[in-house]
Amino acid sequence: MAHNKPDPAGLKLRLVAAQRLKAVLAGDNFVPLTAADLADGRDRALANRLITTALRRQGQLNFIIHALLEKGMPGKSGTFEAVLRLSLAQLVFMPEIGAHSALFLAVEAVKRDPKARHLSGLVNAVLRSAQANSAKFGMLSDDLLIPDTFGDTWLEAYGEDAINGFSTALLDGAPLDLTLKADDADLKDALGAETVIADTVRIEQRDRPVDALPGFAEGQWWVQDAASAIPARLLGAKAGGRVLDLCAAPGGKTAQLVKAGYLVTALDSDANRMTRLKENLTRLNYQAETIVADAGTFAPNSPYDGVLLDAPCSATGTFRRHPEVIWHRSVGDVAGRVRLQRALITNAFRCLEVGGALVYCVCSLEPAEGEQQVQWALDTLPGLELWPVSKDELPGLEIAVTDRGLVRTHPGMAPGGRDGGMDGFFVARFRRR
């Protein structure tokens, strides 16, 4: 007999959230739910908050699950793990929502999944145990937030104070940073934005989607983290020169280079991402040549006065926005990226005019993808020399410039003294002798 009882309130958002979290746990990047996933705005906001809390607290949830699941996570159990993590996140780290819904809706959600329904008793027992111990679990050390894969390397590279800042940044998430086309006090007021460094402004709290913010339709700014906006500012190629932006999509750095007055060629291997870059430039009323090609083999008709290479990397520096990235990456992933970056640096150098400037950057916190690549490039490419960045080129962020003239940002830094941190980025600037 078909049951026509309406679903309990809150069940749908939990089912949708569990499917999205399950995909992320399997290796997908987290993309926030949209109106197409959940029409009700409040349901959608809560579902996204449950998922992001489960992802930001993943290390602590791993500890809790290990403590409560004596036999470990059952295999081939559908959405069981995702439902469990969402409910634990609510019980332990979002107590203001109330425990009853976490318990009741978790059992209901598991019952709706044919591959998990035999575990409805287990999920109930585990969550009741978590509820009884929620005060203890809520005081777990923030040291658990950063996986061992990276924790030791980062501790050595950045020190304990910085790592504490990483944990705070991971839990807080990222504010919205914009790069302005022009310095416009009225626009900043309308956006509720504060200047961070140079032409980067920050919006701490926003109640509207990006495309509904003042100035979007008029093309007065583009979204770009404060750290991501640094490399293009440092290129220093000759005024009005031809510059090549390698791995250019989605186009924030391309827009900066156009704004700086260069004749820009933007190159990316992904046709879909290049379409997005073109749409972004059109909205900004900026012009650039666009090429879909492999940055490792591209051979220009004539060399460029400047090349900006934002190389594919482990992206560990973006964990404020993508907390899953530090759990998805392995040491082997980093090694593979290092090899790819070397091929791209080599070709970027080939594309460079004598006397031209090359900026290499990655949104990674791994020294292997940053500082160690500089030494490799200088040892391997005859005619390439380091062009050190000086502290006075980054007012408000002098702390990011190393003694060697390299730039290293991390999520524990306060650009321009502002709260909210910034992405982890590495930038090195070279010249061709």
User: Which residues are designated catalytic?
Assistant: 363
Encode 151-195 in three state secondary structure.
Answer: HHHHHHHHCHHHHHHHHHHHHHCCCEEEEECCCCHHHHHHHCCEE
Strand partners, 243: 264, 306
- Report how far residue 92's alpha carbon sits from residue 133's, in angstroms, rounded to the nearest whole number: 9
For the record, the structure tokens of 318 come out as 């973006």
Cα–Cα–Cα angle for 361, 365, 368, rounded to 5 degrees:
75
Q: What is the DSSP string of 33-98?
A: --TTT-SSHHHHHHHHHHHHHHHHTHHHHHHHHHHH-TT-SPSS-TTHHHHHHHHHIIIII-GGG-
For the record, the structure tokens of 364 come out as 């990674």
